[in-house]
């Protein structure tokens, strides 16, 4: 019976557990922020490259537009 009780997580957390959880959450937030920044950078680069490459939007691409894509 004692092994059963020891497998139940306690509701009180030590300060070490709280600190570890905070650090894990902060690491996750930093990772997600870095991913969001990378996605924003890629989107901006795509927009700028497209704007420079496709100079005259139309039904088809010119030869120079095709070569840049």
- Does the pTM surpass 0.75? The reply is no
Instruction: Kindly state the tokens that stand for 43.
Output: 């989107």
- Non-local CB neighbours of 57 within 8 Å, separated by 6+ positions: none
pLDDT of amino acid 14: 81
pLDDT of amino acid 60: 81
Angle of CA points 42, 28, 22, to nearest 5°: 155
pLDDT of amino acid 21: 93
Query: Could you identify the residue written with the tokens 């095709």?
Result: 66
Per-10-residue mean pLDDT of the chain, 69 residues long, equals 57 79 96 98 91 80 76
């Amino acid at each position: 019976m004692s092994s059963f009780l020891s497998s139940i997580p306690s509701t009180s957390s030590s300060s070490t557990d709280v600190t570890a959880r905070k650090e894990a959450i902060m690491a996750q937030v930093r990772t997600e922020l870095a991913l969001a920044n990378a996605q924003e950078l890629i989107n901006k680069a795509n927009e700028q490259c497209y704007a420079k490459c496709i100079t005259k939007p139309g039904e088809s691409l010119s030869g120079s537009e095709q070569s840049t894509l």
